[in-house]
Amino acid sequence: MPDGVAIRAQDLQKQFRTVSAVRGVSFEVRAGEIFSLLGPNGAGKSTTISMLSCLLPPTQGDASVYGHSIRQSPQRVKACLGVVPQDIALYLDLSARENLEFWGKMYGLRGTALRQRVAEVLEIIGLTERQKDTVGTFSGGMKRRVNIGAALLHRPDVIIMDEPTVGIDPQSRRHILDNVKELNRQGMTVLYTTHYMEEAQELSHQIAIMDQGKVIVCGTHAELIRLVGERTRLDLTLDTEADALVECWRGIAGVHSLSADHGRLTLLVDDSNLVLPRLFETASQFGVRITSVTIEEPNLEAVFLHLTGKALRD
Amino acid sequence: MKTLTIAAKDLTHIFQSVFSLVMMFGAPLMITGLLSFAFGGRTSGTGTFNLPVTRVQVVNLDQPDGAAPGFAAGKLLVDVLQGQSLSDVLAVTLVSDEASARTAVDEQQAGVAIIIPPDFTAAATSPDRSAAVVIYRDPTRTIGPGIVKDLVRHVMDGFSGAKIAGQVTADGLSAAGAEADQALKDTIVHEYTAWLQSDEHGAEGAAVPRLTVVAPTGAAQPKSQGADLIGPIMAGMLVFFVFFMGGNGAESIIREAEQGTLARLTSTPTSLAAILGGKFIGVIVSLCIQVAVLVLASLLLFGIQWGQAATVILVSLGLIVASAGFGVMLMSLITSSRQTGPVLGGVMTLTGMLGGLFTTAIPTIPASFNRVALVTPQGWALQGWKLALSGAGVGQTLVPVVVMLVMGSAFLAVGIVLFRRRFA
């Protein structure tokens, strides 16, 4: 592993016929850190990690995992990686234990080592009691935990997790996030993709924000927040869509960014105490009611808005 | 080792699936059993073909008029039906009135009722008269009433022949300028009838069997006619369902691609060749088990003698390779599991029909159809099994077996190339 870099992506590109899904992505993940790819759906996160996992060949560029090129040595790369796919990729008619044993064998584990490791992983994912039940009978959150467990069996150097908390209950989500932190504490490098800003904020040592197939910014949480300075994020809801009012607000002094989506607006402003009265005043002039206001300290959502001019939810 | 792990996992999936078990074992045995039942029940252990005995009630109202002394047409018909040679097929009882005979049929206590009219003898001996014998039958039964109808028609044809003979003689005399009086006509009819009676019973008076069940000759060992009928039917079902399961097993590749487990497999340090190899081995092993179980089960249930062991093993090998290869190729052509049902069912049924799998019990298939059947791998497989059933040796089945192996290997190669292109 040269320079303590676990993953190095260099100008990765992926073209699907006429669609450029990934357009020159470069970043470095240092060994032992949690690195998040944050971006809206369609930003190119999953395609990027599919290339890093050797599931898709890049159209251009290269990447290395622990010094092994995804182009030159895909089998070595795969041996270093544990991949947790976005969708549940398990055999629903097999039990949790049978699934883990099968995937362990696919990573070359056998005999006592396999049995011991399966028992450990069942403990990690909290399903020792349900190990003999078929996965098809599990809740969504339990399936997600088995889905993660299957990637941990061979004690990979790097685990790649593609939106592992999509569509699950808060309790399972909490369990998964705690698992990720614990795995990292044990020394595992984690590459994590999400479109949930809070997850990236809670977990990550480094965050790369992606949009439209590109990494638009990369750094620690604090470094990214500094990009928006002392600005405050305002989330407003109007009782009706009002394009003219929105255009008027763009021109108000102290408003830096404004994103509108069906009556829901997100603004980056210098000083909310000064700007908010002006917003109410002009709304009244346009005959529009502001039905809710939320004032947020600068966060990754604000960074995304600052850099792209649109909200992360867009 | 990973290849075997994948194969074992697929086998677990196949043998945990009720649908797979039904299609592998239940359906072919059930269909063959139903056809066996429809053709008169399962064969007996003694090698005889058990046609069910048909109970016949005869109401003989015939009243000979004395014009032909010693001759009674109604009694002649009854004698024919009660003949010793038909005792295994017909159980004939005489009843006195028509209503009770019809009631017996209505209540399924008898399969057929025959009502012979009072003027039957008069009509049989007089050129100018006619009479109708009524056959009242249970509409749910086919074979027994059909035999009775043919026997009655045979006797009636004899009487008609006698009357025609009388008329021809009279016409001949008339053409020669002579006149045939009624007495002469009656004499001719009586003579013809007497000749017919003597012919019915043979020159030495021995009964000539009117229904003979003949076992085919040339078989290596004694077999029942039922087994000869059921054997090809079972062979057709065996080939059809083995090909079906070949496709169904290969469908797991499509299913895994959709469930994401194939992508996950390829994210492990396992080559695509090992993954596809494991899936192919899973299909092959499941088909081996299917063929072995079906051959043994049909031997035990239907008494089918499949032939020499070496021949059966060789034909099984050809069938398994051909069906697995065909299934892999077929599945490589479809893009989603939603297409599997229509494509698998449609293609297997169409090629199965072309291959003659559903017409094995029809003895009069045109030669051209048999040639067309050999366009399909199923046709060759069926030919191999028919040869095995006839007791053929290994040498005689080499051609269909080699063709099946070549076809299966070619299909498999095409399928693997297409799958590799798709998933590489």
Under 8 Å between Cβ of B50 and B89? no
Apex A80 CA angle, A77 and A82, nearest 5? 105
Nearest to B260 among A79, A87, A94 (CB): A87
Q: Is B217 on the interface with A (CB under 8 A)?
A: no
Residue A303 and residue B295: Cα distance in Å, rounded? 71
Q: A133: closest CA among A158, A100, A182? A: A100
DSSP string, A92-128: TTSBHHHHHHHHHHHTT--HHHHHHHHHHHHHHTT-S
Residue entry with tokens 């093993």: B313
Residue B160 and residue B144: Cα distance in Å, rounded? 24
- Cβ contacts of A78 within 8 Å, gap of 6 or more: A53, A54, B267, B268, B269
- The whole-number pLDDT of residue A228 equals 73
Residue A177 exposure: Cα atoms within 13 Å on the Cβ side: 19
Res A48 pLDDT > 70: yes
Cβ distance B267 to A53 less than 8 Å, yes or no, reads yes
What is chain B's pLDDT, residue by residue, as a tens digit (424 residues)? Answer: 889 999 999 898 888 888 888 888 888 888 888 877 776 554 444 444 556 788 899 999 988 877 667 778 888 888 888 887 777 788 899 998 899 999 998 888 888 999 999 988 888 877 778 888 999 988 777 778 888 888 888 888 888 887 787 778 778 887 877 777 767 766 776 677 677 666 554 444 444 444 454 444 444 444 444 556 788 888 999 999 999 998 888 888 888 888 899 989 989 998 888 888 898 899 999 999 999 999 998 888 888 888 899 999 999 999 999 999 999 898 888 888 888 888 888 899 999 999 888 888 776 677 788 888 899 999 999 999 989 988 888 888 999 999 999 999 999 999 988 888 877 6
Cβ distance B9 to A94 less than 8 Å, yes or no, reads yes
The strand pair at B134-137 and B112-116 is best described as antiparallel
Tokens encoding B39: 């053709």
B317 exposure class (CB count in 10 Å sphere: 0-12, 13-18, 19+): middle
Q: Which residue has the higher pLDDT, A5 or B66?
A: A5
Residue B340 and residue B218: Cα distance in Å, rounded? 45
Nearest CA in chain B to A50: B267
* pLDDT per residue as tens digits for the range A60-89: 999 999 999 999 999 999 999 999 998 899
Residue A296 and residue A92: Cα distance in Å, rounded? 43
- The whole-number pLDDT of residue B85 equals 73
Residue entry with tokens 């040869």: B387
Q: A49: closest CA among A215, A287, A227, A232? A: A215
Q: Go through the domains of chain B in sequence order and give each one's CATH number.
A: 2-44+223-423 (no CATH), 54-200 (3.40.1710)
Under 8 Å between Cβ of B116 and B148? no
ipTM above 0.85, yes or no: no
Diameter over CA atoms, chain B: 110
A13: β partners:
A23, A60
Cβ distance A89 to B261 less than 8 Å, yes or no, reads yes
Residue A91 has what DSSP assignment? -
Res A296 pLDDT > 60: yes
Nearest-CA distance A54 → chain B (Å): 7
- The whole-number pLDDT of residue B378 equals 92
CATH of domain A2-221: 3.40.50.300
Q: Which residue has the higher pLDDT, B337 or A112?
A: A112
Q: Is B174 on the interface with A (CB under 8 A)?
A: no
Cβ distance A54 to B261 less than 8 Å, yes or no, reads no
Cβ distance B267 to A93 less than 8 Å, yes or no, reads no
CATH of domain A230-297: 3.30.70.100
Residue B9 and residue B4: Cα distance in Å, rounded? 8
- The whole-number pLDDT of residue B227 equals 53
Q: From the candidates B259, B261, B270, B271, which should be mutated to test the interface with A, based on the most A CB atoms within 10 A?
A: B261
The strand pair at B90-95 and B54-60 is best described as parallel
- The whole-number pLDDT of residue B228 equals 63
Nearest to A55 among B12, B261, B263 (CB): B263
- Cβ contacts of B326 within 8 Å, gap of 6 or more: B243, B246, B247, B377, B407, B408, B411
Given phi > 0 = left and psi -120 to 50 = alpha, else beta, which region is A2?
beta
- Residues on A contacting B at a C-beta cutoff of 8 Å: 53-55, 75-76, 78-79, 81, 83, 85, 87-91, 93-94, 98, 102-103, 105-108, 110, 150
* pLDDT per residue as tens digits for the range A130-181: 999 999 999 888 999 999 999 999 999 999 999 888 888 888 889 889 989 9
| Interface contacts A/B by beta carbons within 8 Å | 56
Residue type, B161: G
What does the mean pLDDT of chain A come to?
89
- The whole-number pLDDT of residue B200 equals 53
Query: SS3 helix, strand, coil % of chain B, rounded to 5?
Result: 65, 5, 30
Residue entry with tokens 């009624």: B182
- The whole-number pLDDT of residue B198 equals 65
Domains of chain A, residue spans: 2-221, 230-297
Under 8 Å between Cβ of B240 and B378? yes
Residue A184 and residue A313: Cα distance in Å, rounded? 28
Cβ distance A93 to B13 less than 8 Å, yes or no, reads yes
- Cβ contacts of A244 within 8 Å, gap of 6 or more: A286
Res A313 pLDDT > 70: no
Q: Which of A36-45, A88-97, A113-122, B356-365 has the lowest mean pLDDT?
A: B356-365
Residue type, A71: R
Nearest CA in chain A to B270: A106
Residue entry with tokens 């560029």: A61
Nearest CA in chain B to A86: B260
Whether this prediction's pTM lies above 0.90 is answered by no
Given phi > 0 = left and psi -120 to 50 = alpha, else beta, which region is A10?
beta
- Cβ contacts of A228 within 8 Å, gap of 6 or more: A268, A298, A302, A303, A306
* pLDDT per residue as tens digits for the range A244-253: 999 999 899 8
DSSP helix/strand/coil, A34: strand
Cβ distance B267 to A87 less than 8 Å, yes or no, reads no
